[in-house]
Amino acid sequence: MRRIIDFLRRPRSGTDTPRPYSAARRLGACAAVLSLFTILTPAAAQDLPGVPAIRDDLTPKDLARVRAITRPATDFSKPEQFELMQGGAGTTKKRVNADSFSHSSANITFEEEGTFKLGNAIFRKNWVSSPSSTQASDGLGPLFNARACQSCHLKDGRGHPPEGSADATSMFLRLAREAGTEEEKQAVASHQVLNFPDPVYGTQLQDLAVPGLASEGRMRIDYEEMPVTLDDGTVVSLRKPAYSVENPGYGPLDKRTTLSPRIANPMIGLGLVEQIHPADILANADPDDADGDGISGRASIVRDTLSGELALGRFGWKAQTATIRQQSSDALAGDIGISSPEVPHHWGDCTPAQKACLDMPTGVQPRLGDTEAPEPIMELVTFYSQNLAVPARRNIDKPQVLAGKRAFYDMGCTSCHTPKFVTRRDAPNKAHAFQLIWPYSDFLLHDMGEGLADGQQVGVADGYEWRTPPLWGIGLTQRVNNHTFFLHDGRARNLTEAILWHGGEAQSARDKFAAASAEEREALIGFLESL
């Protein structure tokens, strides 16, 4: 077992004392290691071809090149080579404006550009309730949160809380409970399910419904302001949210159901993330904190719905999804109520307890396919989602930005926000192959402390763990989405607040930020805004 742990870990910077873990957390870490042990054995490798423990796509010469180019930075007097092009050759250099997240990858072919535009049209189109004269757009709901993908992923960017209005289109409440019986626990352990829905309301609260049907209720957020004093006397007010459901349309929620708020993630660079070799993600995992640095990132192992095989989760707030296709299918079903080959639920998230919902007509058109979003539709949506370009960096040679980058390293932020990877040489699309990319994420699960805990288990992720989100494009949030709300529920109103909410494994980095001078903090924020 120790050899497996040693194999997975890599040296990290920092000498912080590791945070003590509860017995439950220790058992969880051991379970994760056992899961990875199963993955890394030769026998299991045959059952899990998508999760090799070493890079099997490179020659020794190429592997040496990759290791050299992805080494952590040591010289902060100037930008690193290729740092401007944070999305590799697909990086868009178009003028920075509100459309900065909506450009296609710069290195796709002319023919692929046409496919991208068709996918964009589907991503933006409003679905309608059945029956209607449109037919190809039938199938909305019957219960839903949005009418179009673009309604949640505003300008292909970041969602936000319903600030000052009732509009919660780009944010919803995930509903789930942990396993209760031995049978349920086994279903989670074998990756057959991620968790269990509310018996009446399903997997998420839907605040909209088609005509003639009651919605499920509305999300309510109550904020409490919490002043935090930094070491230099600066006072920053953090807002602590409390969530509840107003006017539940189908009776009370189950007492075991937890509420987890989620805002929509930006769409840029997803195809590149999908082509990071699993071995490079697993190399950063240290589930038992074997090196004692207080950082114990865990890999999320999930089951690919289409293939039925185990895979490495890398998408979603808790890394609960292995592929963009699956993420798209889940969102269509849960958010809009549209069925697909992966999730053939024609009534969306309606449960057996919601008979009126199940009595509604569906949008399935036999001449088009046996689901509301049949194979051709899913191919276009997936291609579009895989090829939204990452914008080029800005101000990378500015002294303040370079100083902020040094602070980012010195404070230990790179322990989770891994700066760079080189994608697979054998990626299905040449546009994604062998690209040096700078997502600033390790795509692992980390305990983020009590303050950010949602109490909701999602597969191997417990109620304290979240996937490290990529940071590329974060500095353009205001320009694209007209807001600066960050974290999984948008509670942080700016980047400073987002950093100060970090706890758990990130407590040390957060405390170093709080102890820094105003100049150093401003430099760090300047660096983040350049991404």
For residue range 491-526, what is the model confidence (pLDDT) as tens digits? 999 999 999 999 999 999 999 999 999 999 999 999
Instruction: Identify whether the C-beta of residue 198 lies closer than 8 Å to the C-beta of residue 217.
Output: no
Number of domains in the chain: 1
Kindly tell me the sign of the dihedral angle through the C-alpha atoms of 254, 260, 266, 270: negative
Kindly tell me the sign of the dihedral angle through the C-alpha atoms of 430, 435, 441, 443: positive
CA dihedral 152, 158, 161, 165 (to 10 degrees): -60
In the structure encoding, which two tokens stand for residue 326, read together? Answer: 């699956």
pLDDT tens for 30-62 read: 333 333 333 333 333 323 444 677 899 999 999
In the structure encoding, which two tokens stand for residue 32, read together? Answer: 């994760």
Calpha distance 203→349 (Å, rounded):
7
Nearest to 217 by CA among 257, 267, 270: 257
The predicted pLDDT at position 53 comes to 75
3-state secondary structure of 138: strand
Beta bridge partners of residue 222, listed in sequence order = 242
Q: What is the mean pLDDT of the chain?
A: 90
User: Is 513 buried (19+), middle (13-18) or exposed (0-12) by CB count in 10 A?
Assistant: buried
Give percent of the chain with pLDDT exceeding 90: 85
- Is residue 21 scored above 90 in pLDDT? no
The predicted pLDDT at position 347 comes to 96
For residue 441, give Cα distances in angstroms to 27, 57, 316, 469, 470: 25, 22, 13, 6, 5
Calpha distance 387→308 (Å, rounded):
25
- Is residue 144 scored above 80 in pLDDT? yes
DSSP one-letter code for 53: S
The predicted pLDDT at position 79 comes to 98
Instruction: Identify whether the C-beta of residue 137 lies closer than 8 Å to the C-beta of residue 126.
Output: yes
Kindly tell me the sign of the dihedral angle through the C-alpha atoms of 23, 504, 470, 176: positive
Nearest to 197 by CA among 14, 38, 354: 354
Instruction: Identify whether the C-beta of residue 354 lies closer than 8 Å to the C-beta of residue 143.
Output: yes
Q: What is the mean pLDDT of residues 129-142?
A: 90
Beta bridge partners of residue 276, listed in sequence order = none
Q: What does 317-382 look like in DSSP terms, one character per residue?
A: TTT-BS-HHHHHHHHIIIII----SSS--TTTT--TT-HHHHTS-----TTT-SSSS-HHHHHHHH
Distant-in-sequence, close-in-space partners of 197: CB < 8 Å, separation ≥ 6: 175, 176, 177, 203, 349, 351
Calpha distance 210→142 (Å, rounded):
5
Q: Hey, what amino acid is at 358?
A: L
Nearest to 145 by CA among 333, 396, 383, 401: 333
Residue with tokens 């919605």: 215
pLDDT tens for 194-240 read: 999 999 999 999 999 999 999 999 999 999 999 999 999 999 999 99
- Vertex 174, ends 171 and 178: CA angle to 5°? 160
Beta bridge partners of residue 458, listed in sequence order = 461
The predicted pLDDT at position 16 comes to 35
Residue with tokens 């979603």: 316
Nearest to 268 by CA among 311, 347, 324: 324
Instruction: Kindly indicate the confidence band of residue 164, based on its pLDDT and cuts at 50, 70 and 90.
Output: low
Task: Say how many Å lie between the first and final Cα of the chain, rounded.
Answer: 39
The predicted pLDDT at position 133 comes to 84
The predicted pLDDT at position 163 comes to 80
Q: What is the mean pLDDT of residues 153-173?
A: 86
In the structure encoding, which two tokens stand for residue 404, read together? Answer: 């902020």
CA dihedral 327, 330, 331, 334 (to 10 degrees): -160
3-state secondary structure of 144: strand
Calpha distance 169→267 (Å, rounded):
16
The predicted pLDDT at position 51 comes to 63
The predicted pLDDT at position 489 comes to 97
Instruction: Kindly indicate the confidence band of residue 136, based on its pLDDT and cuts at 50, 70 and 90.
Output: confident
Instruction: Kindly indicate the confidence band of residue 135, based on its pLDDT and cuts at 50, 70 and 90.
Output: confident
Instruction: Identify whether the C-beta of residue 368 lies closer than 8 Å to the C-beta of residue 378.
Output: no
User: Is 502 buried (19+), middle (13-18) or exposed (0-12) by CB count in 10 A?
Assistant: buried
Beta bridge partners of residue 244, listed in sequence order = 220
Which domain, by its residues, includes 429? 2-529
Instruction: Kindly indicate the confidence band of residue 7, based on its pLDDT and cuts at 50, 70 and 90.
Output: very low
- Is residue 267 scored above 50 in pLDDT? yes
Calpha distance 154→480 (Å, rounded):
8
- Is residue 26 scored above 90 in pLDDT? no
| Cβ atoms within 10 Å, residue 433 | 18
In the structure encoding, which two tokens stand for residue 132, read together? Answer: 């209607």
